Amino acid sequence: MPEKNILIAGLGLIGGSLARTIKSGHPDYHVAAYNRSQAPRYFAIQERIVDEVSDDFDALAVKADVIILNFPVQLSIQFLKTLATLPLKDNVLISDSGSTKLEIVTAAEEIFKGKAIRFIGGHPMAGSHKSGVIASDELLFENAYYILTTSALSQPADFEELKGVLVNTRAKFIELTAKEHDAMTAVTSHFPHVVAASLVDNAHDFAAIMPFTENLAAGGFRDMTRIAESSPDMWTEILMSNPDNIVYQIDQFSQKLADVKQLMLQRQSAEIWDFFDNARKLRAQMPIHKGAMENFYDLFISVPDKSDVIHEVLGYFAGHDLSIINIKINETRVEINGVLQITFKTENDQATAKRLILENSSYDVYQ
Amino acid sequence: MPEKNILIAGLGLIGGSLARTIKSGHPDYHVAAYNRSQAPRYFAIQERIVDEVSDDFDALAVKADVIILNFPVQLSIQFLKTLATLPLKDNVLISDSGSTKLEIVTAAEEIFKGKAIRFIGGHPMAGSHKSGVIASDELLFENAYYILTTSALSQPADFEELKGVLVNTRAKFIELTAKEHDAMTAVTSHFPHVVAASLVDNAHDFAAIMPFTENLAAGGFRDMTRIAESSPDMWTEILMSNPDNIVYQIDQFSQKLADVKQLMLQRQSAEIWDFFDNARKLRAQMPIHKGAMENFYDLFISVPDKSDVIHEVLGYFAGHDLSIINIKINETRVEINGVLQITFKTENDQATAKRLILENSSYDVYQ
């Protein structure tokens, strides 16, 4: 008899990765997965990511001690309604992994009112350009923020229980209200997506006047609009699920643009300089530079500017099975030397690589 | 007696790189450089980037057949005024490399009216995170757009002459009016800088309400605000030099945000989906994907997902002096295979690398 029965509902990148970490952290748990389509179920069972798969959600749900829903928010809310009609185990613990939290937490409070059901909204803030259970990864959540939302449907002990189940995600768990979560992600993620899409739209409009415009879109423009190619399904769902916060950001941001416009119309160069200097300083101070959201480990190596230096340095790693994510020559320093940045998936590999470089070369290594 | 006397005024990244390409394209030319401070002059003469250096602008100017000013716009205009007072050679050809064009071209037309002086505003649209003559590079402009501005101060033959001097930049020369240049760069570069700085400012404001906000700034937000750390001096100068176009973009963009706000307030999900889907399609169609602005050459190699694959592929290049700019494992495909992206500085190295990979492995290679 396993200690807990876990149900992962929705076998995509997030569901698959959660299943992997739960199983590896708790080999004695029984991890089952629901998925409507067959291919992810087949892959998950073949790869032993889970112990059991089915397209019968109800049958798996009634056996579960912990249920994690990995769907778009509206679909998750439909599953909450289904769950409320089933003879679930007493005090079953239900969570989700959606991008917005207030809508589902509010729905859960209403749907589960008076029932012996515990609910904690969750948002593991990790992702990959890969998608699907085929790309699922036990290390996906390592060092990522994993937001858990406080509500009337859970007590402090419930958070400890859920974090225990998810211990092997090695994520940084943060407890927030659903309102706080949605307000902050509107600033850092949802509204910036609207900006990126609007920048593309805007450049395209102007190209109707001067067609060569799109040829000049590069560099900063490229970086600022990359996320405009994200899934319209996902982002429509997010905007519909968090409209008040995003509208507030539109208002705040539009006022900022109006302020800059006034400075320009009045040719207030000192104030414009302050605006740019302030932004530069603020960004330099943001935790963004610590890469807190990245589950990766960097080494920075001062190297001479020669074309085979990457190959030379990698040669030092031969025979050690190091998980290299990325290699890049940075040109951020004024000196004639370049900086080779190598990104590792684990802290351990980072340490091994540092030792090998120091043993085999006279290059300076920073991390 | 050299065929032409060239004066490069301002020995930074751009001036130094222009000097290198002119000298390598025309070994018989005499290339002199003016710079106020001593260190760049010393470096340029030691490295044989130029034939002569001086801090006496006037003395070099009167000997020159071609003068290229590499300063911020306002300073370049001061030098134009100085030039108008000097006994220059008849029909001297003057150009610049500033980020905006209408202000300097208008000034030149006024300053040089009735004089035997030809002027063509220039903007080589290339750069590096490195700065200074020490980072100057003969290949900096390769395949980059190099805008030349038409005006009353030059004839078609003058453009051919200037392009001849600059032939070894291997840039893509584009003739535009100064107005066109400033309108288009407002869309693709100047206004996006205002947006990036405003996004940082906005997130910082909100952090006064919810301090954890800045911790959640990552991913898309990071990419969208990277240029907010650019030089406030340079960007203040650009805003002051191109206010009308940037104000126009602020108005256009604010209207777009207002439209999205209305869609959200009215919960028009189908229209929001169209907004995102349209932006996604537009960006996918932009020349941005062709890397037209990058003077780099990519190879994409389908590789198995194993940690030593980068080292293995680089091994095939051993002994060939290939100029690798960047190596990255992309995770953009759904398949289990990864895509190794290797960026080369020259088309030649790209071709050699492709041949070596096809000879030594069974990997698919795309470019």
Q: Which residue of A has its CA nearest to B217?
A: A188
Q: Rounded to whole angstroms, what are the CA distances from B239 to A120, A210, B191?
A: 48, 21, 9
What CATH code is carried by the domain that includes residue B46? 3.40.50.720
* Ramachandran sector of residue A171 (left: φ over 0; alpha: ψ -120 to 50; beta: rest): beta
Rounded to whole angstroms, the Cα distance separating B338 from B329 reads 7
Residue of B nearest to A247 (CA): B261
C-beta atoms of A280 and B230 within 8 A: yes
Rounded Cα gap, residues A298 and A326, in angstroms: 9
pLDDT for B86-130, tens place per residue? 999 999 999 999 999 999 999 999 999 999 999 999 999 987 666
DSSP 8-state symbol, B128: -
Residue of B116, B65, B125, B60 lying closest to B95 (CA atoms): B65
Domain shared by A41 and A167, yes or no:
yes
Q: What is the pLDDT of residue A333?
A: 33
Q: List phi, psi (to 5°) of A191.
A: -65, -45
Q: B184 and A176 in contact by Cβ < 8 A?
A: no
Is residue B290 in some structural domain?
Answer: no
Contacts with A, B 324-363, CB within 8 Å: 324-336
The Cα B351–Cα A264 span in angstroms is 48
Q: Whole-angstrom distance between the N-terminal and C-terminal Cα of chain B?
A: 46
Domain contains B107: yes
Residue indicated by tokens 């002990």: A157
Of B203, B223, B280, the CB nearest to A223: B223
Is the CB of residue A84 less than 8 Å away from at least one CB of chain B? no
Nearest to A269 among B236, B257, B294 (CB): B236
**Distance (Å, whole) CA A42 – CA A342:** 36
Shared domain for B216 and B347, answered yes or no, is: no
The reply to whether residue A240 touches residue B180, judged by beta carbons under 8 angstroms, is no
Q: Do the Cβ atoms of B174 and A226 come within 8 Å?
A: no
- Tell me phi and psi for residue A37, to 5 degrees: -85, 160
B285 domain residue, yes or no: no
DSSP B310-355: HHHHHHHTTTS---EEEEEEE--SSSSSEEEEEEESSHHHHHHHHH
Measured in degrees and rounded to the nearest 5, phi and psi for residue B159 equal -65, -45
Residues B271 and B268: their CA atoms lie apart, in Å, by 6
Nearest CA-CA distance, residue B228 and chain A, Å: 5
Beta partners for A301?
A: A340, A365
Q: Which of B197, B216, B329 minimises the CB distance to A145?
A: B216
Q: Which of A367, A330, A337 is nearest to A351 (CA)?
A: A367
Q: Residues 218..277 of B with a Cβ closer than 8 Å to A: which?
A: 218-230, 232-233, 235-236, 239-240, 243, 246-247, 249-254, 256-258, 260-261, 264-265, 267, 269, 272-273, 275-277
A289: nearest Cα among B202, B206, B228: B228
Lookup: tokens for A222? 């490229």
Give how far B92 is from chain A: nearest CA, Å. Answer: 30
Report the residue of B311, B321, B329 to disrupt the A interface, i.e. the one with the largest count of A CBs within 10 Å. B311
Q: Looking at the structure, do residues A21 and A80 belong to the same domain, yes or no? A: yes
CB-CB under 8 Å, A284 with B229: yes
Lateral strand order in the sheet of B172-177: B52-54, B30-34, B5-9, B66-69, B92-96, B117-124, B145-150, B172-177
Asked whether the beta carbons of residue A132 and residue B246 sit closer than 8 angstroms, the reply is: no
Residue A292 lies in a domain: no
- B224 and A224 in contact by Cβ < 8 A? yes
Give how far B175 is from chain A: nearest CA, Å.
11
Residue B213 and residue B105 share a domain:
no
Residue A10, min C-alpha distance to chain B (Å): 17
A145 inside domain: yes
CB contact under 8 A, A210 and B184: yes
Burial class (CB in 10 A: 0-12, 13-18, 19+), A208: exposed
Nearest Cα of chain B lies from the Cα of A11 at a distance, in angstroms, of: 15
Phi, psi of A172 (to 5 degrees): -95, 105
Among B120, B148, B176, the domain boundary falls at B176
Angle between helices A269-285 and A243-265 (to 10 degrees): 140
For the ranges A339-343, B55-59, B147-151, the lowest mean pLDDT is seen at A339-343
Q: Which domain holds residue A20?
A: 5-176
Interface of A with B in 268-327 (CB under 8 A): 269, 272-273, 275-280, 282-284, 286-288, 292-294, 307-308, 310-311, 314-315, 317-318, 321-327
Q: Which residues pair with A343 in a beta bridge?
A: A298, A326
Closest partner residue to B282 among A204, A246, A336, by Cβ?
A204
pLDDT band at B24 (very low <50, low <70, confident <90, very high): very high
> For the domain that residue A245 is a member of, what is the CATH number?
1.10.3660.10
> For chains A and B, what is the number of CB pairs under 8 angstroms?
367
Judged against a pLDDT cut of 90, whether residue B311 lies above it is answered with: no
How far CA B106 is from CA of A246, B72, B80, B95, in Å, comes to 43, 16, 11, 13
Measured between alpha carbons, how far is B305 from A134 in angstroms, rounded to an integer?
12
Instruction: Find all residues with CB under 8 Å of A323, minimum gap 6, and list them.
Output: A344, A345, A346, A349, B307
Which of A13, A17, A188 is the mutation pick for testing B, counting most B CBs within 10 A?
Answer: A188
B256/B153 same-domain check: no
Q: Is residue A291 part of a domain?
A: no
Please tell me whether residue A237 adopts helix, strand or coil conformation.
helix
Which of B147, B176, B205 is at the close of a domain?
B176
Partner residue opposite A279 with nearest CB, options B184, B197, B210:
B197
Total domain count, chain A: 3
Same domain, A345 and A197: no
Q: Is A148 a member of any domain? A: yes
Whether B307 and A314 lie within 8 Å, measured CB to CB: no
Query: Closest to A198 (Cβ–Cβ): which among B203, B235, B256?
Result: B256
Mean pLDDT within B230-234: 90
pLDDT, position A292: 36
Residue B169 and residue B188 share a domain: no
- Are both B147 and B30 inside the same structural domain? yes
> So what's the ipTM on this one?
0.81
Per-residue pLDDT of chain A (367 residues; tens, 9 = 90+): 568 999 999 999 999 999 999 999 999 999 999 999 999 999 999 999 999 999 999 999 999 999 999 999 999 999 999 999 999 999 999 999 999 999 999 999 999 999 999 999 999 998 766 678 988 888 888 888 999 999 999 999 999 999 999 999 999 999 999 999 999 999 999 999 999 999 999 999 999 999 999 999 877 898 899 889 888 999 999 999 999 999 999 999 999 999 999 999 999 999 999 999 999 999 988 887 654 334 578 888 877 766 677 888 888 988 888 877 778 776 433 334 567 888 887 888 899 999 999 999 888 887 7
SS3 of A126-182: the string is CCCCCCCHHHCCCCCCCCCEEEEEECCCCCHHHHHHHHHHCHHHCCEEEEEEHHHHH
A30, A88 contact by CB (below 8 A): no
* Backbone torsions φ then ψ of B7, nearest 5 degrees: -115, 120
Query: Do B148 and B115 belong to one domain?
Result: yes
Token digits for A74? 């509206």
- Interchain proximity A125–B321, CB inside 8 Å: no
* DSSP 8-class letter at A89: P
Last residue of a domain, one of B140, B161, B176: B176
3-state DSSP assignment of residue A210: coil
Element (H, E) at B23: helix B13-25
Q: Which of residues 49-78 of A touch B (CB under 8 A)?
A: none
Helices (H), chain A: 13-25, 38-46, 57-61, 73-85, 102-111, 156-165, 178-185, 191-207, 220-225, 232-241, 243-265, 269-285, 309-315, 347-360
Distance CA A182, CA A146 (A): 14
Residue of B nearest to A205 (CA): B252
Q: Confirm whether A27 is domain-assigned.
A: yes
Residue B346 has phi, psi (to 5 degrees) of -125, 155
**pLDDT at site B6:** 98
- The per-residue pLDDT for B103 is 98
Q: Which has more pLDDT, B360 or A310?
A: B360
Q: What are the residues whose beta carbons fall under 8 Å from the beta carbon of A344, sequence distance 6 or more?
A: A296, A297, A298, A299, A322, A323, A324, A325, A350, A353
Looking at the partner chain, which of B131, B275, B293 has a beta carbon nearest the beta carbon of A197?
A: B275
Per CB-CB distance under 8 Å, the chain B contacts of A218 are: 125, 188, 288, 292-294
Residue B113 buriedness (CB in 10 A; 0-12 / 13-18 / 19+): exposed
CATH number of the domain where residue B360 is located: 3.30.70.260
Side chain identity at residue B205, one-letter code: D
Both A12 and A131 in one domain: the answer is yes
For B229-282, the DSSP string reads: GS-HHHHHHHHHHSHHHHHHHHHHHHHHHHHHHHHHHTT-HHHHHHHHHHHHHH
Residues A211 and A249 in one domain: yes
3-state secondary structure string across A324-336:
EEEEEEECCCCCC
* Interchain CB distance below 8 Å, A213 and B292: no
CA angle B248, B254, B256 (to 5 degrees): 110
Interface contact flag, A307 B324, Cβ < 8 Å: yes
Total residue count of chain A as it appears in this document = 367
Position A162 scores a pLDDT of 98
The amino acid at B192:
P
Contact assessment for residue B70 and residue B15, using Cβ atoms and an 8 Å cutoff: yes
pLDDT of residue A341: 81
Q: Are both A44 and A18 inside the same structural domain?
A: yes
